[in-house]
Structure 1
Amino acid sequence: MALQVHLPNQQMVRFNEDDTLTSVVEKEKDKRSMLTAFFLKNKEDISAREYKYKDFPKKFTWDTRSHRWNLRKQGLMRGRLVSANPAEGERYYLRLLLSHISGPTCFEDLYTVNNVKHPTFRKAALERGLIESDDGLSQCLTEASLFQFPNALRRLFATILTFCEPGDVRKLWYDHYNALSEDYRRQYESVERVQNMVLTDIKVFLQSMSDNIDDFDLLKINENVNLESGVFREVQEECSVVIEPEHLQARAFLNPEQKFVYNEIMRHVNNDIPGVFFIDATASSGVAANNMPGGRTAHSRFKLPINLENNLVCKISRQSGTAQLLRTAKVIIWDEASMAKRHALEAVDPTMKDITGVMLPFGGKIMVLGGDFRQVLPVVRRGTRAQSVNSSIRISPLWSSIVKLRLTINMRALTDPWFSDFLLRVGDGVEETVQGNFIRIPDDMVIPFTEKKVIKCFD
């Protein structure tokens, strides 16, 4: 169970866009968060004070309606304090105190050590001996390694160096080197190369925070080892994608429609003209048949949240390698965008503006979206047809600013124009139906049923 950790009067507040500030404050002032309810339970129930915050779910259950902790009657639940980065300062030290102190009845109890109230959580943690050594920082890295990828750990390590002033940097490095280097150790056999790549990543992260790796007691980077030093890993990977010669020569084989679309987009590319395009291609145009070299899913590349409806923010930091890659990119191609939910597009737009600092659609990048709305609409779990339509990018306010281009020639069915026309009629909803919404498949497209054929196919 994830337990909220927030500074005094900084708990999460939910409100409607049209609510006034006064109504929001009035509505929220009497509500308790998990943390403030934890304090209240300790104040009301002396027996609860023997538990630390992280152990509370073992004995009590959280009531989302009353916002109270009630005595657990059955089952067992383990708690986990929501992670805090050392760069967050006081919130990080508050989490550290909550992890070690049993039974506080208010924030003041956490500020107080030996009847002396300290001005900050950091000072209180220092007086309690929690940050006298690097144990708290080491524990932070250990906990993060349980659910964070190595690249995120390297960023966290650099953040700790910048903001937390660890006493023994070299020991912290050796203690957590395996977790910091896990991905590179799987890719490369050379111990020195792996070590250099980890150090280089940390160096880049430190530079993004205006720090220098040479100011810390770390191993030196061997500049003789080839690893494109000083470049984000995401940019390295993208620049190392091999482009096959036939892909470069494909321009010579474009049909007139494809050539028009290609030339229009390249006009924007060559003249640095921002623009967003949607290429409406028929199902078997061949556009989607060949995967792009080095392609990634939209959720992976843009760090889109799983629950898009309630969270229109991509999880991309401006200092990250992904952000640098997107800033460097001249063209972004998003295939099968017709199947993406409008919320995905609406999350990427403000993210690109934030990353680039350009307030044009998608941060002024040339975006090329492709797809066929005759195929599958965005999937809405247990949704109606109307809900699927409403989640389409064509309903998004961004749609009006997108240039629409069409490819109507079915490249795979040039020798069978009737079949191509049949697919278009079905996709456009004009094909004749029978018994309601059923479409009759022509007899020459159907294999007659025989038991022998069924057994051969499925047995």
Structure 2
Amino acid sequence: MFYVWNSKHRRWVARQKRGSVGRIHYVPPSLGECYYLQILLNKVIGPTSFEDIRTVNGQVYPSYEEACFALGLLDDDKEYVSCIKEANAWASGRYVHSLFVMLLLSNSLSRPASVWCQTWEDMSDDILHTRRIRTKNPVLTLQPEEIKNHALADIEWLHRNNGSTLSNFPDMPSPDQRYVISSSNLLVHQELLYNKDLLQDEHSTLLSSLTSEQRCVYETLMAAVEHQRGGMFFVYGYGGTGKTFIWKTLSAALRSKGNIVLNVASSGISSLLLSGGRTAHSRFIIPINVNEDSVCSIQPNGDLHNF
């Protein structure tokens, strides 16, 4: 307010005209402590040090985030805790994990670590049952720390599928890497999580509803897979002729046998009609604006590269 920096002589000089309008640059919530420091700089009057900024009613808080809460500048996330607990009462553990990941990615949580500490048991209540099924050991027992790591590993897989990671949230705990890399490829692991018994029932229902023309397409493609002949097939038909129905039947048939199916479409709306569908641009990292120098940004030796 009273001095200005003279870059030519490299020294502070008295301001000729008193008064100035300062500006603090925007900081996104994903930057953690920098974001909370920005909030405090707009609220705390006349601080003389960074310790002063973290001081509220004579108490020095260990972080800027804690100081923000002490000043009542942030929500307490109670509604999100209640939301997760309510969802746990009727939804699967996988759904609750997806809900928590969505809240993290949308920067809706003021204190993610606090929400995790209050809800991790709710988000982990099916871990033991799931692990017993996968290991085919009905008497398997897990310690609380092991259950927590399994839940965190599942949340980490969901984050990576959305191009993020738990390490982007400094306050959030990260799973032990032994649980994260239990599968050599996280994408393969995710594609093999489908319930084969349910898919077999779904396949039987869908197969019985195929028309003769649809069944011909189905049998041709299934024969190519079973005999490992491979190939490229083009199915043409007007809207409403049952093309998506064929893809659903094929997907259920192959996934029920433990095979991997990548359903992709050219548009987001079309991909929603397919089981586990995604756009081709998202799955294969195809650039939206394509020119003669465009390439798919698949990282060498990454999970997608080794899929």
Q: Same fold (TM over 0.5)?
A: no
With normalisation by structure 2, the TM-score equals 0.39
Query: Which structure: larger Rg?
Result: 1
> What TM-score results when the alignment is normalised by the length of structure 1?
0.27
